Amino acid sequence: MIEINPENQVSPNNVFEHKLNALVLGVGGAGGKIVSALSRSACEGLEYTVLDSDVQSLGQITHCKAIQIGRKILRGFGTGASREVAQSIAEMEKDALRQLIGGYSLLFLIAGFGGGLGGGVAPVIAELAAEEGVFVIAISIFPFICEGTDRSMRATRSQDEMTVHAHLHISLPNELLALHANENANFVELYESSNRMISDAVEGLWLSFFRPGPLALDLGLLRSTFGFGEGKCVGTLAVASAPGVSKSRVESLWDTLLAHPWLKEGSLLRSAGTVLALFIGKDGFSLADAEAFQRRIASENPGAKIMLGACTPPEFNSDELRIVLITHPRRTVCNEEKPVQINEEKEMVSFNEVSREMLEKKRPPTRNVPPPPALTNSQIEDILKSQIPYSGGRGKRGYNDPNQGFLDLKITSVGRFDQCEKTYYKNQPIDVPTYSRLGYILD
Amino acid sequence: MLFKKRKQYATGIEIGTSKICVVIAEVSEKCPFKVLSVGQSVSSGVRKGVIFNTEATIAEVRAAVADAESLANVSIGEVCVGITGGHIKSAFSVGEHMLESADGRVTEEDREDALKNAIECPPKEISESVLVLHRIKQPSLLDGQLEETGLNARGRILTQPLYWIYGNRNQIWEPIKILQDLCLEPKYPVFNGFAATIALMDAEQRKKGGLIIDLGAGTTEFAFTHGGCIRYAGSLSIGGDHVSNDLALGLKLEIGVAENLKTFHGRAICDPQAKNALLPFKTPNGENKSVRFDHFQLIMELRLKEIFQIIRETLAEAGLQLGQDQGVMLCGGGACTQMISSLASSVFQAQPWPFRLNHLDGICDSLKKPEFATPIGLARYCASKMSRKTGGPLANVFSLKGLTGKRKETE
């Protein structure tokens, strides 16, 4: 007989210490607005905090805690769309950030990636949280294409960084909403619908962990599915709900999902490697419904790994059945077989993702440029393959790779020779001080 | 003689990174090379030996020339201008000639033919974009063996190697154009390292072999001589400015302060006694500050040592190495640094030759400084060329025979 160490037993007094707690953290202007909207229908066990440098934006935050960052440097203003400034602020206030996120089991990190603070600080927070052992679900908002190439480039860089650090990274492009919206839809309506879906998703995810139901889902399972390996990539989510308890509601949910803008009319579901479906409803969700739904997914995407979760939380007041679907792209390389090529493959997957968006983007018809020809999926795949640059070399001439990697820029001053033609000897920049190149540290 | 023979004035102009120096010398039968005056001005339009601000350089050259002319009370015409910069390169070509005489002896005609062949087959690096500064005859080979002249050696094939020093055409023309704008006659563009060798090495040293290093502010030139001729020469775009820059960055000083400290307290080898010592100095604002003396010396030593090591590696790649009986002599502003000869001696494993100017007459005392070696060499080269042209007895006094071959006229 093994005696259980009394110190390890969970006594009624320390049950709370083992309870799940989560922080919904909105970073930057967009993140702050979303979290502020989420906090209006607060869930039990969730805490809402907004982090921003802009005092004006923080002043509009209601129902949740607002924290100003970078006060000394930015004096209450924004970062001026500079990721570098944001990153340096995050580095400076690392300890405070660590303190902010420490002690939580789960962190929902929500940020818009087009600006400066969200894209610069959120990946640093994700990294710190991961170091602290907090499970990080990052939801990033990709800017509209009409907002400019700079924003898209910044967002791509932030997305890459976030993917490295977050356990589960969900990217939600605004452009997809715009493509599926009415012609007369304005920004407020688009943002509201986006906020509503994110709110439903966060609530659904949280309730699945906090109030496990008949098909339990825990953080460990999620971590093992999404959070390991260097081949992590960006997922997406979709939320749908069907009222009542009619038998046809699964059909209705399925149709809604297939038409969902963030799933690109089901194409991301069909190409997904992992599909996580969470059902939240008060009652009436049967085993037959789960099987029917699983069959639907399997018929659309036979190779996908399907995970189903279902919970019936008492605080879920609505009588509707809600589904939160998270799809994750397929990891094209098996880790065991080609461990060395993981990075390359990751880039390829990420590359495909954006390129596909570019190809699917509707172009306005013009007099001079004919509309793009209709392509089948296999033709799209062929085109993408032909455009992937060979590993270690330059890509096709003239092709602008939006996911091109950025080298770590370590600026070494060469003082008065900054404006001169650089002098090299055996590939060494000999204008750089010798002591510096030889690694001497002058304390 | 009805009329007194007109005096000739040889002028050397060095447009350096830190200063522009003009040396005027009188060339006469009585005194073959007598330095009359030196004019100087600060150079602000040159970086790493390359002119980037033509207007500023023209004004500064004009000031230096006017300074020298007023001191010597003469008006100069033909000048020899120094060329430097990282664009200076070198290469070898080889001319072969089958001996025609029945007994297999080498005649003067054979030598000329072999030399012509070497000139006719330039190295592949010589193209339209470059300008040849010097073509230097190397010791000839007879049937693959070094030919010992005067022994009437016999053989079948005479090989004549030729060493070409060339540079970027545009960058060589830049100083020439500047001097033309000033109504001077820049007839002889000469590589600075070559000029320094002329100024510093006598015939015996050239024969024995040695290395001349001109440590300038923006560039470092070097020339290795052996067997009476230059065997290898080159120019690095590193110099004293890099030392000052390293000090400024490493010790967080203003560049002017770093320059002053280097000039007055610079040392090429770290002094063990300087460990933990402080070097006090005054900022331009009058504040008293100090820096770690050991760090100051360490930064200097690392940079200077690196410069010498690069030269040593470059020579080694060309298959050259200084022997123990050969020496290394330093000139240029950097040569004034304390212990620099010892550092060079230890890096090259050769004797440190003390700085000494070759056959100097005139205002010698003020010129016996390492920074004047190159302009004096330029003036001497000019004197030699002028003497050859006149064909007088002076032609042989500073004959560069052996040191240089027939040079392509670039004017």
Q: Which domain holds residue B138?
A: 89-166
Give the pLDDT confidence score for residue B14 in this predicted structure. 94
Check whether A344 has a pLDDT greater than 70.
no
Give the pLDDT confidence score for residue B212 in this predicted structure. 93
Answer yes or no: is B100 within a domain.
Answer: yes
Report the alpha-carbon distance of residue A252 to residue A257 in Å, rounded. Answer: 9
pLDDT in tens, A191-215: 888 888 888 888 888 888 877 777 7
Give the pLDDT confidence score for residue B22 in this predicted structure. 94
Regarding whether B350 and B214 lie in a shared domain, the answer is yes
pLDDT in tens, A365-419: 555 556 667 788 888 877 777 766 554 445 445 455 555 555 545 555 666 777 7
Is the torsion defined by CA of A68, A71, A73, A78 positive or negative?
A: positive
Residue type for position A60: Q
Pairing verdict, β B145-146 and B185-191: unpaired
Burial of A364 from C-beta contacts in 10 A (0-12 / 13-18 / 19+): exposed
Pairing verdict, β A135-142 and A168-173: parallel
Answer yes or no: is B31 within a domain.
Answer: no
Domain boundary residue among B109, B144, B166?
A: B166
B157 and A CB contact within 8 Å: no
Give the pLDDT confidence score for residue A403 in this predicted structure. 55
Q: Could you tell me what percent of chain A has a pLDDT over 90? A: 2
Answer yes or no: is B224 within a domain.
Answer: yes
Regarding whether B349 and B225 lie in a shared domain, the answer is yes
What is the pLDDT confidence band of residue A364, given thresholds at 50, 70 and 90? low
Check whether A443 has a pLDDT greater than 80.
no
Tokens of B120: 């006719």
Q: What is the CATH number of the domain that holds B237?
A: 3.30.420.40
DSSP string for A396-419: STT---TT-----------GGGTT
Answer yes or no: is B172 within a domain.
Answer: no
Of A417, A420, A435, the CB nearest to B250: A435
Regarding whether B229 and B127 lie in a shared domain, the answer is no
- Cβ–Cβ of A435/B237 closer than 8 Å? no
Q: What ipTM describes this predicted complex? A: 0.85
pLDDT in tens, B82-137: 999 989 999 999 998 888 777 778 888 888 888 889 888 888 888 888 999 999 88
Q: Mention every residue, 6+ apart, whose C-beta is less than 8 A from residue A135.
A: A105, A106, A107, A167, A219, A222, A223, A227
Give the pLDDT confidence score for residue B183 in this predicted structure. 87
Answer yes or no: is B21 within a domain.
Answer: no
Report the alpha-carbon distance of residue A172 to residue A150 in Å, rounded. Answer: 18
What is the pLDDT confidence band of residue A101, given thresholds at 50, 70 and 90? confident
Regarding whether B265 and B154 lie in a shared domain, the answer is no
Check whether A111 has a pLDDT greater than 70.
yes
pLDDT in tens, A203-254: 888 888 877 777 777 777 777 777 555 456 778 888 887 776 666 777 888 8
Answer yes or no: is B26 within a domain.
Answer: no
Regarding whether B221 and B146 lie in a shared domain, the answer is no
Q: Is-contact B332 B373, C-beta < 8 A?
A: yes
Give the pLDDT confidence score for residue B13 in this predicted structure. 94
Answer yes or no: is B147 within a domain.
Answer: yes
What is the pLDDT confidence band of residue A283, given thresholds at 50, 70 and 90? low
- Cβ–Cβ of B48/A423 closer than 8 Å? yes
Tokens of A127: 């990294």
Regarding whether B225 and B96 lie in a shared domain, the answer is no
Q: Is-contact A85 A79, C-beta < 8 A?
A: yes
Regarding whether B239 and B159 lie in a shared domain, the answer is no
Average pLDDT along chain B: 85
Higher pLDDT pick, B288 / A2? B288
- Cβ–Cβ of B255/A416 closer than 8 Å? yes
- Tell me the CA end-to-end span of chain B in Å, nearest whole number: 34
Measure A426 CA to nearest chain B CA, in Å: 10
Give the pLDDT confidence score for residue A342 in this predicted structure. 39
Give the pLDDT confidence score for residue A349 in this predicted structure. 37
> What residue ranges of chain B have pLDDT lower than 70?
1-6, 148-152, 359-366, 389-411
Tokens of A204: 């659904």
- Cβ–Cβ of A415/B248 closer than 8 Å? yes
Domain boundary residue among B356, B384, B400?
A: B356
Q: Could you tell me what percent of chain A has a pLDDT over 70? A: 75
- Cβ–Cβ of A433/B245 closer than 8 Å? yes
Give the pLDDT confidence score for residue B331 in this predicted structure. 92
Tokens of A397: 């001439």
Average pLDDT along chain A: 75
- Cβ–Cβ of B86/A423 closer than 8 Å? yes
Domains of chain A: 19-166 (3.40.50.1440), 340-362+374-387 (no CATH), 412-443 (no CATH)
Regarding whether B139 and B250 lie in a shared domain, the answer is no
Regarding whether B329 and B227 lie in a shared domain, the answer is yes
Give the pLDDT confidence score for residue B386 in this predicted structure. 81
Regarding whether B224 and B154 lie in a shared domain, the answer is no
B84 and A CB contact within 8 Å: no
Regarding whether B129 and B216 lie in a shared domain, the answer is no
- Cβ–Cβ of B298/A440 closer than 8 Å? yes
B306 and A CB contact within 8 Å: yes
Answer yes or no: is B250 within a domain.
Answer: yes
SS3 state at A306: strand
**CB contacts, 8 Å: A413 with chain B:** 249
Greatest Cα pair distance in chain B: 84
Nearest CA to A24 out of A182, A121, A136, A130 is that of A136
Regarding whether B351 and B219 lie in a shared domain, the answer is yes
Of A423, A425, A434, the CB nearest to B246: A434
Check whether A13 has a pLDDT greater than 70.
no
Pairing verdict, β B78-83 and B8-15: parallel
Check whether A18 has a pLDDT greater than 70.
no
Of A415, A434, A442, the CB nearest to B306: A434
Give the pLDDT confidence score for residue B149 in this predicted structure. 58
Q: Which of A414, A419, A422, A442 to mutate to test the interface with B (most CBs of B within 10 A)?
A: A442
Q: Is-contact B183 B339, C-beta < 8 A?
A: no
Task: Name the interface residues of A facing B (CB cutoff 8 Å).
Answer: 413-417, 420-421, 423, 425, 430-431, 433-436, 438, 440, 442
Separation in Å, CA B79 to CA B19, B21, B39, B333: 18, 12, 14, 23
Nearest CA to B121 out of B94, B142, B140, B88 is that of B94
Q: Which chain A residue's Cα is nearest to B299? A: A435
> Per the structure, how many domains does chain B have?
2
Nearest CA to A24 out of A12, A15, A37 is that of A37
- Cβ–Cβ of B249/A433 closer than 8 Å? yes
Domain boundary residue among B313, B341, B356?
A: B356
Check whether A315 has a pLDDT greater than 80.
no
